[in-house]
Amino acid sequence: MIVGYCEGVRLLYAAKVRNGFVPQPRREVATRFKGLEIDTRPFANLPEKKRTQRALTKEEMKNCVWLKPKLVAQIEFTEWTPDGHLRHSKFVGLREDKAASEVVREIRPSKIA
């Protein structure tokens, strides 16, 4: 699953999420994808240059099925990378309590030593 967040009116790529997709949630999510397919990528910052394994390149994008950005996923992760990607991301579930347009980049407070 490719996930992102809103920055103004733009949808920005955050991560390719693979972890957390055990069979039951995978089937449920696939069912929710039906009818949301579109022909063009909704992300403003794709494709990327292959600098890290988290990058999504033009070649990899050929295998993607793009969806209207209507669903909200809850994703656990350890931190944001310098490239603006999620590190060690894991799918937790879909959320019904939030509109996709409300999903913004999480700002965590700095740790004070």
Q: Residue 54 above 80 pLDDT? A: no
Query: With 70 as the cut, is the pLDDT of residue 109 above it?
Result: no
d(Cα 59, Cα 48) in Å, to the nearest integer? 10
Neighbours of 75 (CB within 10 A): 21
Question: Please, which pLDDT band fits residue 21 given cuts at 50, 70 and 90?
Answer: confident
Q: What is the mean pLDDT of the chain?
A: 90
Is the pLDDT at 110 greater than 70? The verdict is no
Q: What is the pTM of this model?
A: 0.86
pLDDT range class, residue 111, cuts 50, 70, 90 = low
Domains of the chain: total: 1
> What's the domain range around 76?
2-10+37-102
How many angstroms separate the CA atoms of 60 and 49, rounded? 11
- Does some domain include residue 6? yes
Q: Is there a domain that residue 63 lies in?
A: yes
Establish if 47 belongs to a structural domain.
Answer: yes
In a domain, 97, yes or no: yes
Contacts for 59-67 with beta carbons within 8 Å, 24 or more apart? 64/2, 65/33, 65/37, 66/37, 66/38, 66/39, 66/40, 66/41, 66/42, 67/33, 67/36, 67/37, 67/38, 67/42
